Amino acid sequence: MNLRDKELMGPRQISIISRVDSERRPSKAHIDIRYGDRLFSWIVWALGLGIILLMAALVFELIRMSMPILSKFGFSFLWGTEWNPVTEEFGALPFIFGTVVSSLLALLIATPLSVGVALLLTDIVPKGVGTLFGFLIEMLAAIPSVVYGIWGIYVLAPFLRDFVEPWLGKNLGFLPLFQGPPFGVGMMAAALILAVMIIPTILAICREVFKAIPVTQREAALGLGATRTEMMWIAVLAESKLGIFGAVILGLGRAFGETMAVTMVIGNRAQISASLFSPAQTMASLIANEYTEATSDFHLSALAAIGLSLFLVSLLINALAFLVVRQFAVSKNGGRR
């Protein structure tokens, strides 16, 4: 605004225009808030990049330590079945088999139990009772792994050896899964103890997913004539597929990485057997058992390659889970990404 315009205006108009101009100019408080937002954004970016760099450093170190064994055996290390540190013959297939089979068996046991109990606590029992029992079940996740291992050695394994495995062998012995002497320790014991350990994880997530379903959706199903059981199938479970799948994947990740409890009950024998009674070994239990006893650089390199294999298997499982979840989401949205 020039001087001539101000002379043509009255004092009131000049006052109003000055106030509007002052409001348009950013105040010091507004500038401070903007700088605070930028600082917070930089901190968050730094933390995110730090996680990525940490993972990259982990992968780099595993690859560096695994190079001697990979240079000698190549990819045949992954499907080799011999593990003999004395003769320096190393193969990872028995441990990959033990890890995948014990984890999948644990999921087969834990998933129906977790989903069923979550439905019980959210839709059947009174709210106060559901909250109390849900808290007690979720507290199982706070029990140390070694405590589960001790319970497995002194309670679970003798019970399987004296009662469960003899009965299964007598009545279902025609199946390869239930053949062989009842050792007590073995693949079945490892799968059962893993199932107990991952139930709190799957159950807690399923409870939150079921609680997120609106009450009006349940009431709508009941209003259309559905029974209580049909209402839970239609209005709760059908709408919670992605959440349940995510809970299962998190439980699988916990089962893959479990070490001490599995080491104490799986038998620790590098073999591939169809029988659930036979001892086996996982990648995590192998590292826990032999890392302190590895004296040669080649043996240490083989253990590092086992750790790299565990990382790759976990990464593959999570990538497949991500693709499945994405496909479900695209299908639910009518093909829109």
Residues 14-37 have pLDDT tens digits of 555 555 555 555 555 555 557 778
By CB atoms closer than 10 A (0-12, 13-18, 19+), residue 261 is buried
What is the model's pLDDT at position 154? 95
**Other C-beta atoms within 10 Å of 169: how many?**
17
Determine the pLDDT at residue 303.
Answer: 93
The tokens describing 167, both together, are: 């009965």
Of the candidates 52, 68, 84, which is a domain's last residue? 68
Q: Are 131 and 93 in the same domain?
A: yes
Same domain, 56 and 109: no
CATH of the domain at 175: 1.10.3720.10
Contact 185, 149 (CB under 8 A): no
143-193, pLDDT tens digit by residue? 999 999 999 999 999 999 999 999 999 999 999 999 999 999 999 999 999
117 and 47, same domain (yes or no):
no
Residue 220: phi and psi, rounded to 5, are -65, -40
Distances (CA, A) of 292 to 41, 301, 327: 44, 13, 44
| pLDDT value at residue 3 | 45
Residue 78 binned pLDDT confidence (cut-offs 50, 70, 90): confident
pTM of the model: 0.83
Q: Which of 13, 38, 68 is the last residue of a domain?
A: 68
34: containing domain: 3-68
Q: What is the share, in percent, of the chain residues with pLDDT greater than 70?
A: 87
Domain boundary among 46, 68, 90: 68
Q: Are both 233 and 202 inside the same structural domain?
A: yes
Task: Choose the weakest-confidence range: 40-54, 263-277, 321-335.
Answer: 321-335
Is there a contact between 26 and 262 (Cβ–Cβ < 8 Å)?
A: no
Ranking 4-8, 205-209, 323-327 by mean pLDDT, the lowest is 4-8
Residue 40 pLDDT greater than 90, yes or no = no
What pLDDT, on the 0 to 100 scale, is given for residue 294? 84
